[in-house]
Amino acid sequence: MNQKTFFTTKKDIVRKIHIIDAKDKILGRLATEISILLQGKNKVYYSHSVDCGDTVKVINADKIKLSGNKEQQKFYFTHSGYLGNEKFIPYLKMKEKHPEKILFLAVKGMLPKNKLRAKMLKRLKIISGGKA
């Protein structure tokens, strides 16, 4: 049992920049791909307690697709905390006003709910148009 144990530290982390074109891609499948890159699960030295993920830039977020009838059925829910102040925003309305927010919320829901999630989301850049 003469094995060395390896603990990931900040000096071991090498970050890359990934540019992803979201044109004609399905929302859920793209969000899982992005969340894996943000967490660093594709790296050999992945550790759940260290933020070792990469930077991800997504272009053409307004051209993303959904499968099935989700474009008509999907709603986004917000609540201010006051009684009766809940809002249901349809997917098509959200796509017109804030197409970046659709992908952001999908990725946010797939990341771990801990203190590292905010750091991971800072490395996610979403652009509606085609220019990176």
Provide the CATH number for the domain around residue 117.
3.90.1180.10
In a domain, 92, yes or no: no
In a domain, 22, yes or no: yes
- Considering its fold, how many domains does the chain have in total? 1
Split at pLDDT 50, 70, 90, the class of 7 is confident
In a domain, 48, yes or no: yes
In a domain, 88, yes or no: no
In a domain, 72, yes or no: no
How far is it, in rounded angstroms, from Cα 3 to Cα 15? 27
In a domain, 82, yes or no: no
In a domain, 50, yes or no: yes
Structural domain that includes position 40: 13-65+100-126
pLDDT tens, residue by residue, 50-79 = 999 999 999 999 999 999 999 999 999 999
pLDDT tens, residue by residue, 106-123 = 999 999 999 999 999 999
